[in-house]
Amino acid sequence: MTEPGLFELEAVVVGQPKRSQWRRYVGPALAVSTVEGTPLARVTHTDDTHSLLTKTSGEFIVRIKRRSRFGQFGPVRFHFTDAADQEVGTACARGLVKTRQLGVQTEQGRQLLLTRRGHLSDEWRLTESDPEGGPAPEILGRVSVSTIDTWLGLQQYVVETDPRLDVSERRTIVASVVCLHLLRRPPGDSAAPA
């Protein structure tokens, strides 16, 4: 029996790998693993605008490109491309608190929202419509963040998705969680997360 693929799992963990405060860290920026801790993939930043999601074997999964027209004050858009350089999804954040809501578009064009209820909330809900725009929408997933090392401020995101989401939609959601982390803690920034 073979292990399920990374995007066939309904729950994965995206987090900053633990590191020593005494030595310079040279590993990946983020690691993707099963809830039990089995490594599946890693994220590396090639510069402040490009990140790569690869399997632990080194096989390329998706490239994440960050674009922002007006610096930190304007909207930030992330484009996801596959090995053939085809766009397989996007994520967009607007407003002054860009980590409150992330608009996500999947490869098939499905529009989703990752929204947290308040600035201090540690959970984002995945829905097809804005939770504040009327009746409570159906929840298609959750992203919960926690601090795994208070001294270094290392973050971990547990990503739970509905069984009805397909593999390509889960790929977009995992890439969006990477974007969420980049918005909260940009590459090279040691400030506390937003």
pLDDT in tens, 118-169: 878 899 999 998 777 667 789 999 999 999 888 888 999 999 999 999 999 9
CB-based contacts of 123, cutoff 8 Å, min separation 6: 116, 117, 142, 143, 144, 145
Cα–Cα dist 150/148, whole Å: 7
pLDDT at 1: 33
How far, CA to CA in Å, does 173 sit from each of 49, 73, 118, 164? 19, 24, 21, 13
Is the CB of residue 79 less than 8 Å from the CB of residue 97?
no
Distance between CA 25 and CA 44 in Å, rounded? 13
Helix (H, G, I), strand (E, B) or coil at 5: coil
> Which ranges constitute the DSSP H helices of the chain?
167-184
Q: Is the pLDDT of residue 193 over 70?
A: no
Using pLDDT thresholds of 50, 70 and 90, give the confidence band for residue 187.
Answer: low
| 119 vs 13 pLDDT, higher one | 13
**Per-residue pLDDT tens for 66-124?**
998 776 678 899 999 999 999 999 999 987 778 889 999 999 999 999 999 887 889 99
Mean pLDDT for 12-22 is 90
